[in-house]
Amino acid sequence: MKKIKVGIAGLGRLGKVHAENLAFKIPNAELTAACSIMPAELDYAKEVLGVEDVYSDYREMLAKADIDAVAIVTTSGEHCWQIEAALDAGKHVFSDKPLGVNVEECRIAEKAVERHPELAFFLGFMRRFDPSYAYAKKKIEEGAIGTPYMVKATGIDPEALVDGAIRFAATSGGIFIDMAIHDIDLMRWFLGSDPVEVYATGSTFKHPEFREAGDDETGVAMYKCENGAVGFVHVGRTAPHGYHVETEIIGTEGSIRVSPVPAKNLCMIYNNQGVVQECVSGFPERFAESYRLEMEDFINCVQNGVKPEVTVYDGTKSTQIGFATTEAYRQGGIVKIEY
């Protein structure tokens, strides 16, 4: 079968992960073009990825490159116009999350996807491809915990990365927009229902810089869903032990916990520190397999003409929920979520 030729846009922290998967780890994909506004990243594309066809202008890549599909891993505010331009140019699209940074942009992407039913549109909610989360979903569908009625999700970045988070705090859109979108998507996925109201608050005990930027270092949000189920999302910037992503799904007949100890591997180290299990260091390590599996699924969807499971409307909803959560946090009250 013919390989799917892909052009990647964005070769930053996550773009490099996707690019290396496409170039070296997915047999039915071929990375044939790359685009970045940073010249050093185009050198990386040539030297490390072996991609000679490089562009500093995205529209030029769409017009000239020999590609069937694009992978968009640029800054979030660029996603929607790049999705629309690629679909209108006849290319299948993988876009990393978030779909857009506001609902108006998301609607533009929705319309472009609706104009092109012949093309695949894939949104990178990669946690759904994490083998443990996928297994939890399968067990729920098999009835292992009865009817799920609560999700408790925690996502705390390592304290080791806090300086970057502080620098970014004023322009991040706030801790919920910046950090909670994956937990929001998992909550909807596991509960099979959309939140209709949210209460949110936050706290800062360690780094006052977050408060000075109008944000907090810890955020918590409580959701009530259309079917009566509830969700609790806790995000933060200061995990001392590494990258802490943990999810609990509670049902009428039991519960499932994913990663209560976010362990690096199966090793326990017995020494003068005690008995130590090391923690994953960050998202590239924790979700390495998910990034590969989601891109593999995208390529398979394109090759076999199958529609991806996550839709553009899931993208809009998660952005809407993120904004409603931020509004609840700023108002200090309950906000109704309307779609």
Strands (E), the chain: 4-9, 29-35, 53-55, 69-72, 92-96, 121-124, 148-158, 195-203, 218-225, 230-239, 244-251, 254-258, 269-271, 274-276, 334-336
Residue whose CB is less far from ligand NAD, 38 or 306: 38
Minimum CB separation of residue 310 from ligand NAD in Å reads 12
Tell me the HSE value of 231 on the side-chain side, using a 13 A CA sphere: 32
Residue whose CB is less far from ligand NAD, 124 or 195: 124
Minimum CB separation of residue 241 from ligand NAD in Å reads 20
Residue whose CB is less far from ligand NAD, 65 or 73: 73
Minimum CB separation of residue 37 from ligand NAD in Å reads 4
Which positions touch ligand NAD (CB under 6 A)? 9-15, 35-38, 41, 58, 73-76, 78, 96-97, 124, 126, 283
Length of the chain measured in residues: 339
Minimum CB separation of residue 329 from ligand NAD in Å reads 19
Residue whose CB is less far from ligand NAD, 14 or 165: 14
Residue whose CB is less far from ligand NAD, 82 or 193: 82
Position with the least CB separation from ligand NAD = 12
Q: How far apart, in whole angstroms, are the C-alpha atoms of residue 35 and residue 74?
A: 10
Minimum CB separation of residue 52 from ligand NAD in Å reads 18
Distances (CA, A) of 254 to 46, 98, 146, 150, 270: 52, 32, 7, 11, 33
Residue whose CB is less far from ligand NAD, 73 or 112: 73
Minimum CB separation of residue 190 from ligand NAD in Å reads 18
Find out whether 167 and 271 touch, Cβ atoms under 8 Å.
no
Q: Long-range contacts made by residues 38-45, C-beta under 8 angstroms, separation at least 24?
A: 38/11, 41/11, 41/12, 41/15, 42/11, 44/11, 44/16, 45/11, 45/19
